[in-house]
Every structure is written in C-alpha cells, then in structure tokens.
C-alpha cells in the first residue's frame, strides 16, 4: 500500500496532521533524506498542478470573454487596417502635408511678389481733380468763427480744377469729372474776377462739361485771344498749358508725345507736361496759340505721361449744344492774337481767360 | 455590466481580488484594442494578439491574486509592458528579431518581475505538457482530485471503481507517472 505514504505526505503538506503526528513526521524528515526529497518534490508537483488548474480555468474564462467581446464588436470593426496604418504614419503624413502646403503657398506668394512691380507699371489713369485741404480750411474757419461770431464762415470748396472761356458771351469748358456731383460752382481768375456758373451741358464719354456764367453783373469777357484748331496736331509739336494745381496759376510746357491717349484712346493726345491734381480742364495750346485740347488726366506711376482731350471733340459738343439745350449757339472766336508773340506775352493775354473752378457740395 | 463600477484601477484590482468576473471581463475588454494594435502593427496576427494578451492578463491576474502586486503605474502600462516583452520573446522564438517595436504607449522594463514570470511560465508549460501526455483517465482523475478538490467517494462513484481504496491506488499510480513526466523536464530553480 504505497499510496498511504503519499497520503501522509499530502496530509502533512496540507497541514492536517495533529500535533504529535506532525512532530513525529518532522523528526523522520530530519533523518530520512529520501523522504525529505520526496516531500519537496511533491510540494512542487502539487503547486504546479494547482497553478496549471488555475491557469486553465482562467484561460477558459478569458476565452469566453473574448468571444463575447468579438460578438459585440462584429460589424463595428470593419476595416481596422487603415486605422493601424493611419496611427503609424499620422505624424509623417502631417509633416509631408504641411511641407507641401508651405511650398505651394510660398511659391504663390513669391510669384505674387515678383509680379507686384509689373502690376505697378500697368497703367492706372488718374483724373487730375484737386481735393482741397479740408483740415486746414476747417481750422481757419473755426478761428474766423471765434473772431466774428455774427457771420457764418463760408464753406470751403471741396474740389477744384481749371476751366477756360469758350466765347465772349460767358461759356466755359472744364472736365466733367471736376464738376461731378457739384451743388454750386464758382470760377475765379488771377485778376480776382469771380463768377457763379452752372453746368449747361455734359459729355460723359469725352469727359467734358460746358459751363455758363449766370451772374447778372457779368458783362462779357471781351475778345478771346485764341482760336480752336479743328485738325489734328502733329507729333512733337511744342505745347503748353495754364492751370490751377494750387491757389495761383501755373504754367506748364512740353511736347505732344503721342497722338493717342491712355490705352490707345484716339480721342486724346499724350503730352509730356508735368501735371498735378487741379490741372484738369485746363487749355492745351500749341506754339501759335491754337487751342488743341483740354487737359484731362495722367498715368499713375509714370512721369511725363499726361493726357488731353482733342479739340475736335470739344468743337463737336459745342455744335451739339443748341440741339441738346434751348441755348443759342456759341460763337467761337475767329481771330488768333497770340501767334507770333513770345511765350510770356502769350501768357499775359491768356491768363485772364483761364479760371480756377471751385466745386461746392 | 455597469461601466461606472470599475472606473479606477483600484476598483478593478479589488474586483479581481474578490473573484468578480465582471471586473475581469471589463479589464479584458478595456485594454484588448491597445495590445491588438501593438501586435498587429508589429507583424503579428489576430490569434497571436489574443494569445499574448491573454498571457499578459494571466500574469497580471496571478500577481493580483498572490498579493505581490505593487503597481507603480497604471494597469494599462503594466499590461502593455508585459505583453510587449512576451511578444518580443515570441518574435525571437520565431527567428524574427524585431529591431525596434513601434510603441504607441509608454512602457516599463519590469526587470524585477521577469525571472519570476519566466519561472511560472516554464513550470506551467512543463505541467501542461505532462498532463497532456498522461492521457485519460489519469488526467481527469488528478484534475478532479487536486484541482477541482472533489472528495474521493464522488470520484470512486463516477469512475466506477469498486471502492475508494482502488481509486486511491489508481490515483497513486497516476500521480507517480505524472511525477516522472514532470520531473523529467522540470528542474526546480536552485
């Protein structure tokens, strides 16, 4: 009955021996090395078996949980592969994406930068209407107001340009962009003559406006010194103008540099006279004192490229005037008294017929 | 299963300690995706992921049960570290050396636990092998008595032995064979 021995060992290991039996067994263990060895082995075996059992049990439990989890998840996890791929490479993709974005926008930006000066050169047309320094005017107006509270301060003009006489009967011409949106218009020349005028006719396409003096005190201009040229002027002809880019009249001289205007506009000349805001509407005359055009604008960013409407179109609208309005036809001057005079002499005769046009609104 | 019940690691450990299967199930489901991702992104399959993860959970479970767990980090990190080590070992056994693992998580080296864990694994492996070689009815007999702790009388009745002495004798013979098989490959650590 060998198994009795095993039972004894198991009882000892499980701690089920009573005190005397245990003492006797332990005493035996001290002397019998084979028994001691067997006990040790048995203990290891039992432990291993228990662990095995436990693990098997646990594993079956985990398998159950796993199966349960898989049935819960079927349908949910359709394609985990791309997610795995994404998680692995997300950083790389992000860096690549930002680099490409940066280079795309960087290139766009630098191309834009290179194009910018080119764009500046592409023409921009500037109308030479002068915007009067509002702040300064307003300030002096206030000071005047303090000194003399009884009178309301006169309103300063918003814009100014230049105009010149068409006939002795009080017709003038200026650029229509000067008198655009005007409430009232005043003209004044260097000798201090001042009249209230109103716009009687406008040709928007040629940027010309006909003004008429409505002052009852106006008695006529007298004889106009210049005549109007109907034919086209030649390239390289010496031309000059008078205008009011500031408070006083300013003379400007140059040549006729092209027989077409801004962007090939055939109704205008290109002239090489330095012009400033306020010159719009000024007369353009040639050496002999023929009026050949009306100053209208210049090209932004380019020096010496100014434009004037050809006199032929001015004459055209003057002839349209009686049909368009109820006014009597304008009698244009017939005799040119400027020809043959020196430039200062010409200007002396001319300047009384060139006015600053002040626009109020 | 109420999720709120096991929100903290402590609650989970406490649940496992008190044999709460729901705590175990919760833990298992919570961290499986992480390990699955680790294995799948390092040239493993779904089945391998499951195996490695279960081994990791078993290690954790045994540690909790034996009371030797001193967790200085989250359970998540612990499981990840254990499974990472197990997977590297498996790769080495397959002859494929992973130069570096793409880690999506932090991990610990856990050097202290390694000898104990490996010993446990080895002992389990040997015992499993021995049990499988033992054959029936010895395997069931021993399992019933030593693992499922059934008494000798029930076993006698179920296996159809004439009396408990015959059964005990049979059990003795089985145990003797198991011992031979087991100690043939197993060397207790010095």
Check CB contact under 8 Å for B127 and A48: yes
pLDDT for A3 equals: 67
User: pLDDT above 70 covers what percent of chain B?
Assistant: 84
Which tokens sit at A172?
Answer: 């003038």
* Phi, psi angles (nearest 5°) of residue A274: -65, 120
All residues of chain B having their beta carbon less than 8 Å from the beta carbon of residue A62 are 24, 28, 54, 57-58
Identical fold at B3-109 and B114-185? no
Q: How far is B124 from chain A (nearest CA, A)?
A: 6
- Angstrom distances, CA of residue A14 to CA of A18, A151, A156, A280, B150: 11, 125, 118, 120, 15
Domain segments of chain A as ranges: 3-71, 81-122, 128-361
A242-254 pLDDT tens trace: 999 888 889 999 9
Among A260-274, A276-290, B25-39, B135-149, where is mean pLDDT lowest?
B135-149
State the architecture of A128-361 in CATH terms: Beta Barrel (2.40)
Q: Chain A residue closest to B188 (CA)? A: A44
Domain B114-185 has CATH 1.10.3470: no
Cβ neighbours for A51, distance < 8 A, ≥ 6 positions apart: B120, B123, B124, B127
Q: In angstroms, what separates the C-alpha of A57 from chain B's closest C-alpha?
A: 10
Q: Choose between A196 and B168: higher pLDDT.
A: A196
Residue B99 scores a pLDDT above 80: no
pLDDT(A357) > 60? yes
Question: For the segment A173-201, what is each residue's pLDDT rounded down to a tens digit?
Answer: 999 888 888 888 999 988 888 899 989 98
User: Is B124 in contact with A46 (Cβ distance < 8 A)?
Assistant: no
Whether the predicted pLDDT of B190 surpasses 60: no
Under a CB-based contact definition with an 8 Å cutoff, are residues A338 and A350 in contact? yes
- The catalytic residues of A are 177, 207, 280
Say if residue B108 is exposed, middle or buried (CB neighbours under 10 Å; 0-12, 13-18, 19+). middle
Confirm or reject contact between B132 and chain A (CB < 8 A): no
- CA atoms of B103 and B98, how far apart (whole Å): 12
Q: Residue B2 has what pLDDT?
A: 45
Q: Tabulate helix, strand, coil % of chain B (nearest 5).
A: 70, 0, 30
* Residue A204 pLDDT level (bands cut at 50, 70, 90): confident
- Integer Cα distance of B172 and B79 in angstroms: 40
pLDDT in tens, B59-89: 888 888 777 777 777 788 888 888 888 888 8
Q: Give the separation between CA A239 and CA A253, rounded to whole angstroms.
A: 6
What's the pLDDT at A141?
57
Mean pLDDT of B88-97: 77
Residue A105 has pLDDT above 90, yes or no: yes
Domain borders along chain B are: 3-109, 114-185
ipTM of the complex, rounded to two decimals: 0.78
Q: List, in order, residues 6 or more apart from B77 with CB less than 8 Å away.
A: B105, B106, B107, B108
Nearest CA in chain A to B59: A55
Interface of B with A in 5-64 (CB under 8 A): 21, 24-25, 28-29, 32, 37, 40-41, 50, 54, 57-58, 61-62
Assess whether pLDDT exceeds 60 at residue A135: no
**CB-CB under 8 Å, A49 with B142:** yes
DSSP A61-130: HHHHHHHHHHHHHTTT-S-HHHHHHHHHHHHHHHHHHHHHHHHHHHHHHHHHHHHHHHHHHS--EEE-PE
Of the candidate CATH numbers 3.65.10.10, 3.60.10.10, 1.10.1740.10, 3.20.20.70, the domain formed by B3-109 belongs to 1.10.1740.10
**pLDDT of A31 over the 50 cut:** yes
For residue A212, is pLDDT > 80?
yes
Distance CA A110, CA A99 (A): 16
| Contacting residues of B for A69, CB less than 8 Å apart | 28-29, 32
**Distance (Å, whole) CA B167 – CA B145:** 11
């Amino acid at each position: 009955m060998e198994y009795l021995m095993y039972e004894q060992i198991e009882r000892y290991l499980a701690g089920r021996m009573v005190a005397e039996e245990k003492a006797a067994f332990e005493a035996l263990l001290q002397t019998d090395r084979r028994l001691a060895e067997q006990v040790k082995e048995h203990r290891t075996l039992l432990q291993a078996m228990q662990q095995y059992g436990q693990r098997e049990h646990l594993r079956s439990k985990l398998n159950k949980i796993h199966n349960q989890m898989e049935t819960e998840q079927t349908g949910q996890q359709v394609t985990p592969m791309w997610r795995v791929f994404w998680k692995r490479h997300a950083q790389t993709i992000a860096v690549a994406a930002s680099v490409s974005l940066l280079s795309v926008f960087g290139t766009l930006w630098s191309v834009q930068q290179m194009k910018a000066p080119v764009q500046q050169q592409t023409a921009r047309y500037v109308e030479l209407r002068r915007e009067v320094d509002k702040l300064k005017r307003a300030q002096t107006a206030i000071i005047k107001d303090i000194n003399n509270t009884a009178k309301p301060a006169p309103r300063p003009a918003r814009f100014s340009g230049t105009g010149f006489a068409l006939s002795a009967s009080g017709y003038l011409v200026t650029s229509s962009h000067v008198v655009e949106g005007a409430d009232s218009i005043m003209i004044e020349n260097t000798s201090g003559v001042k009249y209230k005028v109103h716009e009687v006719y406008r040709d928007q396409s040629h940027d010309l406006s006909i003004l008429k003096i409505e002052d009852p005190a106006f008695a006529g201009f007298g004889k106009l010194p210049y005549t109007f040229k109907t034919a086209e002027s030649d390239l390289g002809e010496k031309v000059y103008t008078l205008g009011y880019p500031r408070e006083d009249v300013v003379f400007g001289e140059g040549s006729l540099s092209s027989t077409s205007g801004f962007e090939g506009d055939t109704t205008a000349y290109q002239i090489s006279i330095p012009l400033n805001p306020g010159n719009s509407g000024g007369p353009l005359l040639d050496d002999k004192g023929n009026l050949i055009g009306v100053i209208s604008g210049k090209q932004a960013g380019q020096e010496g490229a100014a434009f004037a409407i050809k006199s032929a179109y001015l004459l055209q609208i003057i002839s349209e005037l009686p049909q368009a309005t109820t006014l009597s036809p304008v009698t244009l001057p017939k005799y040119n008294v400027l020809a043959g005079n020196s430039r200062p002499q010409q200007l002396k005769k001319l300047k009384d017929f060139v006015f600053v046009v002040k626009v109020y609104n | 299963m109420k999720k709120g019940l096991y929100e903290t690691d402590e609650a989970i450990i406490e649940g496992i300690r008190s044999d709460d299967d729901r705590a175990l199930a919760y833990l298992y489901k919570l961290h499986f995706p992480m390990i699955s991702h680790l294995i799948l992104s390092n040239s493993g399959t779904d089945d391998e992921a499951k195996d490695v993860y279960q081994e990791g959970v078993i290690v954790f479970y045994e540690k909790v049960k034996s009371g030797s767990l001193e967790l200085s980090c989250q359970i998540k990190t612990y499981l990840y570290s254990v499974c990472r080590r197990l997977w590297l070992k498996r790769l080495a056994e397959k002859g494929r050396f992973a130069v570096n693992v793409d880690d999506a998580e932090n991990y610990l080296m856990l050097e202290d636990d390694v000898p104990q864990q490996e010993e446990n694994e080895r002992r389990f492996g040997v015992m499993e092998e021995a049990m499988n070689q033992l054959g029936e009815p010895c395997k069931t007999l021993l399992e019933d008595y030593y693992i499922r702790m059934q008494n000798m009388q029930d076993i006698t009745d179920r296996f159809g032995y004439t009396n408990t002495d015959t059964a005990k004798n049979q059990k003795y013979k089985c145990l003797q064979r198991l011992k031979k098989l087991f100690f043939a490959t197993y060397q207790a650590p010095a």
